[in-house]
Structure 1
Amino acid sequence: MKKDYSRRSFIRKSAFLSSMLIGGGFILNACNSSTQSTTESETASAPVDSCNDYSNVSDVELQKRESLGYVEETPIPDSDCANCQLYIKPNEGEKCGGCQLFKGPVFENAYCTYWAPMV
């Protein structure tokens, strides 16, 4: 029995495996993006009723907020979330914004130890 170790065979097998890996990546990415878009649209369609509504925020995220020193009223004049580079402005009809460092509602006049001035 003669084994086929030709360059042509190697290239054919490599091309086949590459296309399978790339195709599998596209399939997995498509599955993941459809799940994310559903979750994002559900979240985006439900406006935050109150800046104190933490019902959809996990305990881990609440602990992260606390560890970053988040307080609802800034102790430092002119250093609040509204003028922080990490602040996410509220959408129309929402009362509170967000933060790039943690999940959950954020007051405009709040503060955390990672405050970064807008540039």
Structure 2
Amino acid sequence: MHLLTLHVTAMDKYSRKDFLKRGLIAGAALAGAGTILSYCRKPAEEGGDQAGANCTDVSGLSDADKATRTDNEYVDVSTKPGQSCSNCALYTQPEGGAACGGCQVVKGPINPAGHCQLWVAQG
């Protein structure tokens, strides 16, 4: 009974019009905050916007080529500071505006922000 009394008292404090107005303002504020925060995403350590490249389609590779990717621990986004495919001597640059490059050893699409255990500094 006590909770019901509090609820009724709180409802009496605001009119329906005020309640709807506050709800719309709060909803708009949340939507605006979400939009603003989406622009504040932190780019990847290496590769910047390239870290978002989708280089995961290996459907055209043979099982042996897929195994080479796995055996050499290829990942789409490097966790090693200063070591990414884009600064590896084995990396081949993307052509024709493509987001994914290639590798002289690991076959298939290679993310410039990726990494594998074959990484060699460009020299």
Q: TM-score, normalised by structure 1?
A: 0.56
Amino acid of the residue matched to residue 64 of structure 1? T
Secondary structure, counterpart of 2:82 in structure 1: coil
What is residue 107 of structure 1 aligned with on the other side? 111
State the 4+ residue runs in structure 1 displaced beyond 3 angstroms.
none
Name which one, 1 or 2, has greater alpha-carbon Rg: 2
The alpha carbon displacement at 1:69 in A equals 1.1
Q: Does 1:61 align with 2:65?
A: yes
Q: Does 1:75 align with 2:79?
A: yes
Identical-pair percentage: 37
Work out the number of aligned pairs and report it: 70
The alpha carbon displacement at 1:76 in A equals 0.6
* Aligned Cα root-mean-square deviation (Å): 1.0
What is residue 14 of structure 2 aligned with on the other side? none
Q: How does 1:43-62 map to 2 (within 5 A)?
A: 50-62=54-66
What is residue 84 of structure 1 aligned with on the other side? 88
Q: Distance in 1 between matches of 2:97 and 2:77?
A: 22
Q: Distance in 1 between matches of 2:86 and 2:77?
A: 12
Q: Distance in 1 between matches of 2:119 and 2:56?
A: 21
* Contiguous gaps of at least 5 residues in structure 2: 1-53
Q: TM-score, normalised by structure 2?
A: 0.54
Structure 2 residue corresponding to 1:98, chosen from 99, 102, 106: 102
User: Contact (CA 8 Å) 2:89, 2:119: kept in 1 or not?
Assistant: yes
Q: Distance in 2 between matches of 1:96 and 1:79?
A: 17
* Contiguous gaps of at least 5 residues in structure 1: 1-49
